[in-house]
Structure 1
């Protein structure tokens, strides 16, 4: 060991876990923010329906909200390149807080659906700017050797809050303080999380423009969207990613009433079940990634993800219906559903290999798909609920997962990409950077 080596500080426990020490408070703040954002996930739909809003109007509210989330998810990348991630996160926090107050005071508390729709839609611009702005900050400030682990912790905090711990929080507070106060407590959590992340994180790269000075504003925005037709496989990956979690957002609209009014669960039981589903999803996120290293990314996505979800979606409907009121059985099939949705995670390792020269742009396609799923799911409910009710919607999603499986088979790595990666390895370049940004 040289004298220089002895002077290097040993990595802290946080760094050995894969979290950049300079961004630790950002991860903690993100978790708090997403817990607050996820508080309403399991009970907003039944609350509105119980207060005179039709199920169709509720689905439309979630659909338009999802469109805003989708747009904001894509904007978070180029805006962070242009202004710096920290400023984008501040904007996202301000939007969320301001329009949540409008949503509650002028919408929920007065029963005005028009105000609810406008405020909730505009609030939907907030969380992607905050959360995905931080993801860009992670990519900018994290050494390539640590980026995969850091991105994994990002998704742990993101999914752990929305809706896992958020739903658990609501299941505890609603019986104690009521539904309206719980809405206000979600605002407190979001503001607290945002302030923790932004006031206690001092890593310098997040505070300034990330794109080179010679890149125009138009170039920043156009490059992240033109890749969809320059490399059609990224467009196919976008569709698969959209289908991936679209059923989750549809279930937030239709399943609360199904489990409370048909299966016979209480609202608290439904919120706990929802938390179990997403806890399964979080755990299997990690397992599917390790499985992909052994079996291949495309194999895991197509078989465990697409085929698995085509089975688990109808199972999540028919099995609890057959075992009426049995929470244990419902939890088991919910765990199965959460695991199959998690099996799409290896897409984030596959897509950068398809476009190794433009990893960030390729990953932005997955980000766009992640945002699109938040409105596609509720939109399917809006359009098709009158067809065959919940049962018809269940089979639509099952068919979509079969379709996603067929698309996944076409997500092969092109020869020119393999040649580029061989040349990069020969030059000693690290090809792992950026491989896990958007799952």
Structure 2
């Protein structure tokens, strides 16, 4: 019998364990995100080049992508709790080594592997919980349930993870802040592994069969090419916005006089807006607009436009904190348009949701490799303007790709609308 009972699948609301899982995700991601808004400028101020900083984040992103892929298939093979425990332990080990032997002595050779090791942590912890959510949530509220996950995820990583450093850096310093991250992750991790129980999908068989299950995330892209397209869209989803902290605060500081604290407040406010609409946009998607059109127009096209607006706002208004904050708010809102992507992709393979989600998670992880790689490759030759146009262009490509992501029901409806019988008379 499937580990998730039919009674659970048909409940009107979300199980209490899932609510606590969201809380655990938020707390865990606070610890993971405490350095994201300032680490690159900090390292560059202490002797690293922009290219070296980009390489550090690219190495982190490469490992994160691998962990993101395996989070889905390992959750189906081992169960969510074991995968979450592995993520918690690996994150703690990587963080401690990074602080003590890399960051404190400013040893770049040690920073690279230790920060990369830490990249295994949050995908195994958070994305395995996300797979659990996709199995336990009824279809009619699936996008909303996933929206709650991303609200918790971004709330920790970007909102608390931005405002808390802005307040605490003057009090405890950068190294002290990094040690406080260990406390956040430990608390969130312990809550998560206590409340998440059971398997998501019963797995039987010998070692050969289990290996086949681990590779199912790759083979499903061949069986269902739309899932591969969804993975590409997921890469683009986080690439542009994920690259901003690497180079944009330096640009704002050097060209327009923005301080690190101002940038963190703008960045945090952007994600407050994102969380505020992380339930509104998926609700609109579930009830009226539909998943695909929401991703195409609000997410993809909207993010492309707002990337360019964010680039040109300082040129038009100079050092204007409130103008850039308003732009950040609208950027955070349209970014919510990508939330239904997980629901859309998992619905393309209802019997292999873990494998489908492995591709979505892999795309999320790959964005953290591709984003700094683009910055490191093009920032020297094309400058900030060229890099921002690259990211805007990727978002517009994402909108085009969504044309091909129709669900079977939508395709049947389109065919019936244009059937020969309806065209006669």
TM range (shorter): 0.7 to 0.9
1:265 maps to 2:258: yes
- Counterpart CA distance in 2 for 1:22 and 1:359 is 20
Q: 2:74 aligns with which of 75, 79, 82?
A: 79
Unaligned runs of 5+ in 2: 1-10, 414-425
**Displacement after TM superposition at 1:46 (Å):** 0.9
Offset from partner CA, 1:153-184 (integer Å, 9 cap, x none): 22221111012111111011001111111111
Q: 1:22 aligns with which of 6, 11, 17?
A: 17
Contact 1:20 1:150 in 2 (8 A): no
- Counterpart CA distance in 2 for 1:309 and 1:152 is 18
Query: What pairs up with 1:186-225 in 2 under 5 angstroms?
Result: 186-198=181-193, 200-201=194-195, 204-205=197-198, 210-214=201-205, 216-225=209-218
Partner of 2:420: none
**Displacement after TM superposition at 1:59 (Å):** 0.7
Change in CA separation of 1:416 and 1:253 when aligned onto 2, cut-off 3 Å = closer
Offset from partner CA, 1:374-431 (integer Å, 9 cap, x none): 1111111011111221111011111111211111112123479869xxxxxxxxxxxx
**Displacement after TM superposition at 1:129 (Å):** 0.6
Contact 1:298 1:408 in 2 (8 A): yes
- Counterpart CA distance in 2 for 1:300 and 1:204 is 33
Partner of 1:330: 324
**Which deviates more from structure 2 when the two are superposed, residues 349-358 or residues 118-127?**
349-358
Contact 1:306 1:405 in 2 (8 A): yes
Partner of 1:433: none
1:110 maps to 2:105: yes
1:246 maps to 2:239: yes
State the Cα RMSD in Å: 2.4
**Displacement after TM superposition at 1:66 (Å):** 0.7
**Which deviates more from structure 2 when the two are superposed, residues 318-327 or residues 46-55?**
318-327
Q: 1:163 aligns with which of 138, 158, 162?
A: 158
1:237 maps to 2:230: yes
- Counterpart CA distance in 2 for 1:279 and 1:79 is 32
**Displacement after TM superposition at 1:297 (Å):** 2.3
- The normalised TM-score by structure 1 is 0.85
- Counterpart CA distance in 2 for 1:400 and 1:141 is 33
Contact 2:240 2:392 in 1 (8 A): no
- Counterpart CA distance in 1 for 2:308 and 2:140 is 40
- Counterpart CA distance in 1 for 2:191 and 2:292 is 38
Which secondary structure state, in structure 1, belongs to the residue aligned with residue 203 of structure 2?
coil
1:285 maps to 2:284: no
**Which deviates more from structure 2 when the two are superposed, residues 262-271 or residues 137-146?**
137-146
Contact 1:245 1:341 in 2 (8 A): no
Change in CA separation of 1:416 and 1:328 when aligned onto 2, cut-off 3 Å = closer
- Counterpart CA distance in 1 for 2:205 and 2:97 is 40
Q: 2:57 aligns with which of 56, 62, 74?
A: 62
Change in CA separation of 1:128 and 1:346 when aligned onto 2, cut-off 3 Å = same
Between the two proteins, the alignment pairs up a number of residues equal to 401
Unaligned runs of 5+ in 1: 1-14, 420-439
1:412 maps to 2:406: yes
Change in CA separation of 1:157 and 1:362 when aligned onto 2, cut-off 3 Å = same
- Counterpart CA distance in 1 for 2:150 and 2:38 is 23
**Displacement after TM superposition at 1:188 (Å):** 1.6
- Counterpart CA distance in 1 for 2:175 and 2:299 is 37
- Counterpart CA distance in 2 for 1:354 and 1:210 is 17
